[in-house]
Copies of this chain bind each other. A is one copy, B any other.
Amino acid sequence: MNTQTGRRPTILDVAAAAGVSKSLVSLAVRGDPGVRAETRARILDTADRLGYRSNPWARSLVRGRSQSVVVLVDDLRSGYHTDVVHGVEDAAEENGMAVVIGDGRRDRGALRGRLERLMSLGPDGIVIVSGQADSAMIGEFAARLPLVVVGRPVDLPDGAGQVSNDDRMGMRLAVHHLVALGHRRIAHLPGSPRPAAVARRESYERTMAELGLGAHVRVIPTATELVDAVAAGEADAATAVCCANDRIAVDLIGRAVDAGVDVPGRLSVAGYDNLDLAAQVRPAITTVDQPRRAMGALALRQLADMLADGETRREVVTPTLVLRDSTSPLVEDPPIA
């Protein structure tokens, strides 16, 4: 039961009660400078007394703008996505815009369905934070509304803006760190076939080659396989791993513990993404951090710019390495590479 007595007051009711025209009420409530101070005060008072609230639909209808954007994420549960969303929200607040969050639930169909539903709210633009979204879908929605992608899809269609992290640089940081600790037999646990994961794997391979460690390149498909080799004490088993992302690193560490393989004692593990989880598990995971909130804020500002002048950009931000407890100096004598 809401206590609205009859219908909500409109601009007309306020005008009548304040003894002015409705146009003047409109100007006053929007803070237009062309209204005498005392008149404005009287009108605002009346509006307050009547409990007047501007009708958003009427406003949007006549302005052709809703002052809102949709931010669509792959998975709400992921701290990664949530941080980006917070960056978008903070920048939106500065722009006086509302942000509507949509959750793709890690499912392409759900992602699309959700966006379609949210389009019915009449947003002014779209931010997509998802590796799930294919470029056809992105292109289709970019044709309807200004759109910015946070991340790195295969081939971003023209007309879509972009904010991404430098995956190549990030993985280099991880590999360099492990090498600096004395490791040579550094394996890689790859992620999905998505672009970010592919870029990270390629960077791993390239960086190893650059460091003269090409012979030690091992892309190992499953954590089990890797852990088994280490547990069995195989001569060429890896002493360190860089994972495509933190989830994989967490899973790996779990399996290592189960198999009695000490991390980082016998196996140093580096992650990527700096999820909350990476700091929560034991040992806390050394990982690559993307400036997620900054990425979200950049995305929203780019969207605002697109709304103003239609300009599209591709922005790249630089990741950093976060040192924690899952990596340590090599203890055994490694065979010289």
Binding site for B on A (CB under 8 A): 1-4, 55-58, 60-61, 66-68, 76-77, 79, 82, 85-86, 89, 93, 98, 100-103, 105, 113-114, 117-118, 120-122, 142-147, 158-159, 250, 254, 257-258, 276-277, 280-282, 310, 312
Residues of B within 8 A of A86 (CB): 103, 105
Task: Using CB atoms, name the residue of chain B closest to A145.
Answer: B2
- B77 contacts A159, C-beta separation under 8 Å: no
Residues of B within 8 A of A145 (CB): 2
- B85 contacts A76, C-beta separation under 8 Å: yes
- A98 contacts B118, C-beta separation under 8 Å: yes
Min Cβ gap A123→B in Å is 9
Which of the listed residues A56, A57, A82 has the most CB atoms from chain B within 10 Å of its own CB? A57
- A57 contacts B122, C-beta separation under 8 Å: yes
- B276 contacts A143, C-beta separation under 8 Å: no
Other-chain contact of A56, B105, B121, B143, B276 (Cβ < 8 Å): B121
Min Cβ gap A218→B in Å is 26
Other-chain contact of A144, B4, B144, B158 (Cβ < 8 Å): B4
Residues of B within 8 A of A3 (CB): 143, 159
- A144 contacts B77, C-beta separation under 8 Å: no
Residues of B within 8 A of A77 (CB): 77, 79, 82, 276
- A121 contacts B144, C-beta separation under 8 Å: no
- A98 contacts B120, C-beta separation under 8 Å: yes
Shortest 8 CB-CB contacts between residues of A and residues of B: A57-B61, A101-B101, A57-B60, A56-B122, A1-B159, A3-B143, A98-B117, A57-B57
Q: What number of copies of this chain does the assembly contain?
A: 2
Give complex CA distance A131, B277 in Å: 23
Min Cβ gap A88→B in Å is 11
Task: Using CB atoms, name the residue of chain B closest to A92.
Answer: B117
Residues of B within 8 A of A66 (CB): 57, 121
- B103 contacts A101, C-beta separation under 8 Å: yes
Min Cβ gap A168→B in Å is 28
Residues of B within 8 A of A55 (CB): 61, 122
Other-chain contact of A2, B4, B101, B146 (Cβ < 8 Å): B146
16 A-B interface contacts by CB (under 8 A):
A1-B312, A3-B143, A4-B143, A4-B144, A55-B122, A57-B57, A61-B61, A66-B121, A67-B120, A68-B121, A76-B85, A77-B276, A93-B117, A101-B101, A254-B280, A254-B282
Q: Quick one: given A56-B122, A57-B57, A86-B105, are A280 and B142 in contact (CB under 8 Å)?
A: no
Task: Using CB atoms, name the residue of chain B closest to A158.
Answer: B1
Residues of B within 8 A of A312 (CB): 1
Which of the listed residues A2, A4, A86 has the most CB atoms from chain B within 10 Å of its own CB? A2
Task: Using CB atoms, name the residue of chain B closest to A284.
Answer: B254
Task: Using CB atoms, name the residue of chain B closest to A251.
Answer: B280
- A121 contacts B98, C-beta separation under 8 Å: yes
Give complex CA distance A159, B312 in Å: 48
- B61 contacts A143, C-beta separation under 8 Å: no
Give complex CA distance A158, B2 in Å: 9
Residues of B within 8 A of A158 (CB): 1
Min Cβ gap A311→B in Å is 9
- B4 contacts A120, C-beta separation under 8 Å: no
